Every structure is written in C-alpha cells, then in structure tokens.
C-alpha cells in the first residue's frame, strides 16, 4: 500500500481563518441575530452544512439556500485577501520526492476549494480532493469519513500516512482515521488552543522536519 499526506485547506494551505471569522460574524448576525450567533460558538473547522445545523439547534430558522447565497457573495473577496501559507510548495515537493501520495480534505464548499486550487503550484499533485460540505455520504469532521475515503482512494495505509490539520474538529477526524496527525499552528486565530494531535508545527519548515523524522521510523 501507499503512504499518503493529506492536507486540510483553510488555516493550513491558505491563511483564511481571520478573513472568514470577520465574514462569519457579519453574515451570521445578519441572518440569526447576535444572541444565537453567540450560542453557536466557534465554527472553526465546520462546513456550511454543519454550521447551518448548529444554527438550527441553537434556535435559528435560517434557510440553507439563503446561507449559501450570503457566503457565495463574499467567497472571492475572502480568498483574494488570504495569503497562501509560506513554504507549502516546498513541503509538497519534498513529499512528492519521497513518494507520498497527496490529497486534500476540506470542510469547505467546493467553490471555496476552487478559489484556492489554481493558486497552488502543486495542485496537479493532489490526486484526491474532497469537499465534505458537498459530499452528503460522508459525515463531517470530527467524524473520520473524509480522511478514510481519501486514504481509500489513494490506496494508502493510515499507519504510514500523515494528515495536516489546524482545527480541533479536524484533528479529531484525522486521529480517528489512524493516520499520524500534525496540528498546524501557523495560521491559528488568536487564543485558539489545539489539542489531541501527535505533533505540532508553527511553520511548514517544522512540518518538513516532522515528516522526515516520521518517514525514517
């Protein structure tokens, strides 16, 4: 079987969490009001469908199609103002040279992924790209479904594979898949504390060192 390296997207490949936090606050308060928005808590690592479900659980009555419309209106601006993570291209080159199969699993909408992929120099190396938001048969993070599906498509053994995540929901999903899980801290929102990863990295250089150490074992 192959060894795989699977990326999350927002907060890992692109520094978009701050931009999304600002957009989220405006959109959710507009649609559900500040009180329900406060009850919803952190949405880091959640797709639109999961966020919509949480809003309903918190007492909102917001239409999912309206939610899609509001987020579609700001998506291009969010990613235009979000830098790619420095060093990700170098990491991808080293991974490919070490025979890792590359994939991406994101909670984000397919349109969000399509804003980022053309900017990645290694997009053609990503053999599997999964939007959990738009794949109803796969449960969202923290369930491991997306990562298990990516590992399956890459014919990869989780015991020799690595997942790079930033949110705690994503870390839980990655760990539950059986893969070695790195928590990426370089683009975290202020005050956000990661838990549960096998190792943590502040830069892509740190990730490269962890991969090299892992790959020797």
Helix or strand or coil: residue 121? coil
Q: Provide the pLDDT for residue 217.
A: 61
Average pLDDT for 152-177: 98
Q: Which neighbouring-strand residues pair with 163? A: 6, 181
Angstrom distance (rounded) from CA 160 to CA 158 = 5
Tokens of 181: 């899980």
Q: Provide the pLDDT for residue 42.
A: 82
Record the pTM: 0.92
Helix or strand or coil: residue 160? helix
Q: Provide the pLDDT for residue 25.
A: 85
**Whether 165 contacts 171, CB under 8 Å:** yes
> Tokens 């939610």 label which residue?
67
CA 91 to chain centre: 17
Higher pLDDT, 45 or 32: 32
Q: Provide the pLDDT for residue 166.
A: 97
Helix (H) / strand (E) element for 163: namely strand 162-165
Tokens of 183: 């928590």
Q: Is the pLDDT of residue 215 over 80?
A: no
Q: Provide the pLDDT for residue 180.
A: 98
CA 212 to chain centre: 23
Angstrom distance (rounded) from CA 48 to CA 53 = 9
Q: Dmax of the chain from CA atoms?
A: 52
Phi and psi torsions of 81, nearest 5°: -105, 15
């Amino acid at each position: 079987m192959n060894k795989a390296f699977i990326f999350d997207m927002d907060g890992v490949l692109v520094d978009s969490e701050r931009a999304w936090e600002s957009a989220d606050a405006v959109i959710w308060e507009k649609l559900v009001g500040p009180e329900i928005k406060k009850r919803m808590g952190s949405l880091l690592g959640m797709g639109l469908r999961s966020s919509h479900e949480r809003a309903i659980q918190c007492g909102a009555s917001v239409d999912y199609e309206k939610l899609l419309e509001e987020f579609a209106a700001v998506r291009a601006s969010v990613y235009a103002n979000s830098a790619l993570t420095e060093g990700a291209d170098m990491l991808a080159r080293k991974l490919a040279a070490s025979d890792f199969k590359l994939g991406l699993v994101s909670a984000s909408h397919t349109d969000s992924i399509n804003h980022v992929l053309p900017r990645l120099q290694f997009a053609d190396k990503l053999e599997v790209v999964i939007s959990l938001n738009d794949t109803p048969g796969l449960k969202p993070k923290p369930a491991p479904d997306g990562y298990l599906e990516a590992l399956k498509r890459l014919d990869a053994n989780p015991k020799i594979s690595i997942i790079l995540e930033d949110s705690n929901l994503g870390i839980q999903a990655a760990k539950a898949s059986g893969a070695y899980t790195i928590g990426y801290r370089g683009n975290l929102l202020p005050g956000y504390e990661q838990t549960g990863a096998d190792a943590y990295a502040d830069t892509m250089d740190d990730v490269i060192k962890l991969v090299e150490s892992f790959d020797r074992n």
